[in-house]
Chains A and B, each alone.
Chain A
Amino acid sequence: MSAYILRRILYAIPILIGVNLLTFTLFFVVNSPDDMARAHLGTKYVTPAMIQAWKREHGYDKPLLYNSSAPGLGRVTDTIFFTQSVDMFAFRFGRSDDGRDIGRDIRARMGPSLEIQLPVFVIGLATNITFALLTVFFRATYLDLAGTVLSVALMSISGLFYIIAGQYLFAIVLRLVPISGYAGGVESFKFVALPVAIGVVAGVGSGTRWYRTLFLEESGKDYVRTARAKGLSEAQVLFRHVLRNGMIPILTGAVVVIPTLFMGSLIMESFFGIPGLGSYTIDAIQSQDFGIVRAMVFLGSVLYIVGLLLTDLSYTLFDPRVRF
């Protein structure tokens, strides 16, 4: 078991190196430090000296990948790529364009993001499973048909619509909650309630449909017939047998997203003015702050890989057949 975990963690390293290489290519090769400097200093009245100064200030005055002038190992280490990568792997994200410490910003903004994402995840999962079980329980009836059609319709609606319509209805027309904003502590409930509700509703269509097919596939299997032949009621068959088997792919599939919940939701946070990582990212994208975007890409990959590891481990938890 521990050998397995160790191997998986070691396997994550080449993946992170790959991610790092990719983002480096995007941010430093396609868009060279000179371009960055020019973009920041403005296109007019820029002298080469100013560009050099800007690059030195940001530590971008070294060669990109290979330093032919440095001695020994320094040829590789004394480069932008190496210093930047080492910083990344040490979770030192540097400073944003407006001079703030990115690492500290990220830590501060994780909380509000989680406050929305976690309830959406938990309530959403419960809701989707419940609805899916209901449609399976009433399968081949009009209730099932209506449920299926409804979920297709729900999943055909743009996520933006849920947010815009929800905000308009509950915050502007009914004035039940504030339009946007955030406060810590107990106060936060009234700011978070609407985004959470919208998040759940927006996911219910596709979730219910996906789980329904899983449960249906499961309920067509031989062991379900065996359970019925024992004289179990339809509800007992569904809850004791079908649910347990169907939950394996559902839970293991859900586990992978748990770590990425930290990343927040881009759209929701920006619409509701939640100071989480989602709005942080979107602001960075809109103000073209590459430092933050790069940090978020790296963080996202790390969290995804943690998610993969958790998925594998969760199999041992949910599925007696899997042992390491």
Chain B
Amino acid sequence: MSEERLLEVEHLTTIVHADGAKVHAVDDVSFSIGRNETFALVGESGCGKSLTALSLMRLLPEAAEIRSGSVRVDGEEWLSMPELRLRDHRGGTVGMIFQEPMTSLNPVMTVGRQIGEALLRHTDLRGKAVRKRVLDLLAQVGIADRERRYGDYPFQLSGGQKQRVMIAMALAARPRILIADEPTTALDVTIQAQILELMRGLQRERQMSVLLITHDLAVVSEMAHQVAVMYAGQLVERAPRDAFFARPAHPYSQSLFAALPGRNRRAGTLSVIKGTVPPLDGAFAGCRFAARCESAAPVCAQDSPPWTRVEEGHEVRCHFARETQARWENGKARVSVAAGAAGLPAQSAARPQPSELLTVSDLKVHFPIRKGFLKRAQGYVKAVDGVSFQIRSGRTLALVGESGCGKTTVGKAVLQLIRATSGEVRFQGVPITRLPEARLRPLRSDLQIIFQDPYASLDPRMTVGSIVEEGIAALRTELSRGQRAQAMERILGQVGLPPASEARYPHEFSGGQRQRVAIARALAVGPRLIVCDEPTSALDVSVQAQVLNLLKRLQDELGLAYLFITHNLAVVASLAHEVAVMYLGRIVEQGDAEEVLDSPRHPYTQSLLGSAPVIERVRTARPPPTQGEMPSAIEPPPGCHFAPRCAHAMPLCRERYPGVTRIHAHHSVRCHLWPAASSLPDST
């Protein structure tokens, strides 16, 4: 079997020195990759998957060091190889692409030179030939206008183009293995689909092996032949793709599946993994997942589980691998998920229509671009350009779109953190867009916000208590000190934090717990509407499920309304009542969540839904991804903004922005494909 394998990793152990402690970030990891095979290494953040990849290339940061193990490529040992010879393999035998295309390219070197550098290093090409090969490579990775791009600097390219350049650079010397470390995590969903498609094509074409590192099971499902799951520095499951998605056998893998939000989990409670990843700086006795495992037995806490083979090529590090797998196959695991959905009220039916809480009409936020001698505004970034929607109390409107579409600006403009250029925001019928700050203050307790990054949204120098109390002190001045303390205790309980957390500081909490603190802070003032700005996109899947469940529970208990801003359609499906899809400052389609998700009318909505990778038991053919990227909001294309990327674009699309077409009472779209029968006034 050995001669079949291109890359063999055995007992790899890497430690990181952090503030005097030794963190066993990669602990006894073994796997192998065959020729022309895509091997996916899956795990949540901090599990050691990136360090594994860097260990293979011996590109570790200074604080990390490889302790033991072996890495063989084509039978040749790499870990003991002299640095000088290994350099021939870096970029030559193995190419690597990284997560952040924004920072992974040298900002002051042209794209052409950066790719050319790899050619000069590993091939005999010189002079004109280098340029020609670079241009070929740019064409292969799908860069349009490659002659011009050759001399461009990275800042002149979009995120997707940068990642294409990274791929071109990694593949320049025709490596036999490509290591891709979260290659699409920083990209939008339509761009992600393009890049994944590109990687699949190149792999087939060039007969490469790929080590794909990702946290996203859906990406794995689309790309991988072999899957390995990593948890707390160790591999816990290795399997061929189909076997893994059909019959995951480790409790951790199973809980990852169960925690995924999605259409089929609609309105149900997502299953969560309790607790957090254990710290890796101590010695372990027993299974590392035992403390979080629903079916842990006494033996799990004592003995480290050995590898158990459950079927051909499918191995699991669990004492009860067969039982776990059997339970999954019997569907018990899924039943528990479905059970949660049973008792919930039906969505749209007989419920009395709740009152309208927030009405946004024709909201515009334009940022001036100042240039020239007197710094006069010479143009505007039309971040939000005529957005209208309503939210009723106790309901959730999801505002969906890719980065840069203006959705966050809408959220801030609703809260009056950014003042609107024109248009109106009414809260309970009161127009608030022009209210001075002093008159706005009483309304501040009704409107609150939760931010995306729980690491940046809590003041690191304040205790959780004073963070939560800040709003009470500012807005509910009528409360006495004792009442405040009571309120605090109640709220911390509501979000599932122990009362003792009051005296602690944000850095002592994990990402999910921090987001609970942020929710508590918003809840403390008794809001009616909370703007949730991507509240889970910085969190791991298992934690994301906890936060989504919490938000859902709070809505049921307190009748909160949410403006839920997100790029993640799976999250939308599990939480939202209504959906509005935004593209370049405007809403292109909105309506009942099920309607929009089940029968999207706008080509952009269709493209978003089609681009999102999905988990399938058996891989099926996918439609080709939408081409191009979102243009700049400074000079939007004439006519329909989506026309340049739209597969159905007609001449009319390039001339006029389409008006609103009502598909029916709860579903409207702005697209020329759906001519307005009962056309509403056009607002080009």
Cβ–Cβ contact A225 & B107, under 8 A: no
**Stretch in A15-23, A127-135, A192-200, A227-235 touching the partner:** A227-235
Known contacts: A222-B98, A225-B98. The answer to whether A230 contacts B103 by CB under 8 A is no
Taking a contact as CB atoms under 8 Å apart, the answer to whether B153 and A230 are in contact is no
B87 touches A226 (CB 8 A): no
Q: Which residues of A contact B104 (CB under 8 A)?
A: 222-223, 225-226
Interface centre among A139, A222, A241 (most CB of B within 10 A): A222
Question: Does residue A35 face the partner (Cβ distance < 8 Å to B)?
Answer: no
Find out whether the CB atom of B169 lies under 8 angstroms from the CB atom of A241: no
Which residues of B564-607 are within 8 A (CB) of A?
A: none
Q: Does B558 contact A (CB under 8 A)?
A: no
**A71 close to chain B: CB less than 8 A:** no
B377 shortest CB reach to chain A, Å: 15
- Residue in contact with B90 in the complex, picked from A139, A231, A240, A248, CB distance below 8 Å: A231
Asked if A320 lies at the interface with its beta carbon under 8 angstroms from chain B, I say yes
Residue of B whose beta carbon sits closest to that of A230: B91
Cβ-based interface call for A321 (8 A): yes
CB of A3 within 8 Å of the partner chain: yes
Assign chain B's interface to a size class. 20 to 34
CB distance from A307 to the nearest CB of B (A): 22
List B contacts of A229 (CB < 8 A). 57, 59, 90-91, 95-96, 170
Q: Report the minimum CB–CB distance from A281 to chain B (whole Å).
A: 37
The residue among B89, B91, B95 with the most chain A CB atoms within 10 A of its own CB is B91
Contact at A227–B373, with CB atoms within 8 Å?
no
| Least CB separation from B95: chain A residue | A229
A138 to chain B, nearest CB (A): 13
A146 to chain B, nearest CB (A): 19
Question: Is A3 a contact of B89 with CB atoms below 8 Å?
Answer: no
Q: Taking the complex as formed, is A173 at the interface, i.e. its CB lies under 8 A from any CB of chain B?
A: no
Q: Is the interface of A mostly helix, strand, loop or mixed?
A: helix
A291 to chain B, nearest CB (A): 37
Give the chain B neighbours of A244 by CB distance below 8 A: 106, 108-109
Contact status B92-A231, CB under 8 Å: yes
Chain B 90-115 interface residues, beta-carbon cutoff 8 Å to A: 90-92, 95-96, 98, 100, 103-109
Which residue of chain B is the closest to A247 with respect to CB atoms? B108
Among A139, A140, A226: residue with most chain B CB under 10 A: A226
Q: Contacts A226-B105, A227-B106 given; indicate if A232 touches B59 (C-beta within 8 A).
A: no
Measured CB to CB, the closest approach of chain A to B103, in angstroms, equals 4
**Binary per-residue interface labels of chain A (214-251) against chain B in the complex, 1 for a CB within 8 Å, 0 otherwise:** 00000001110111111111000000110011001000
Measured between beta carbons, the chain A residues less than 8 angstroms from B170 are 229
Are A245 and B107 closer than 8 Å at their CB atoms? yes
The reply to whether A231 and B121 contact each other, CB–CB distance below 8 Å, is yes
A320 and B103 alpha carbons, distance in the complex (Å): 16
Q: List 12 A-B contacts (CB under 8 A).
A: A139-B62, A223-B104, A223-B106, A223-B107, A226-B96, A231-B89, A231-B122, A240-B109, A241-B109, A244-B106, A248-B108, A321-B155
B residues adjacent to A (C-beta < 8 A):
57, 59, 62, 87-92, 95-96, 98, 100, 103-109, 117-118, 121-122, 153, 155, 166, 169-170, 173, 372-374
A-B pairs, top 4 by smallest CB distance, nearest first, are A231-B91, A231-B90, A222-B103, A230-B91
A6-B373, A226-B96 known; 20 other A-B pairs, CB under 8 Å? A7-B373, A222-B100, A223-B103, A225-B59, A226-B104, A226-B106, A226-B169, A227-B106, A227-B117, A228-B90, A229-B57, A229-B90, A230-B91, A231-B89, A231-B121, A232-B91, A232-B117, A240-B117, A248-B108, A320-B108
Chain A interface (Cβ within 8 Å of chain B)? 3, 6-7, 139-140, 221-223, 225-233, 240-241, 244-245, 248, 319-321
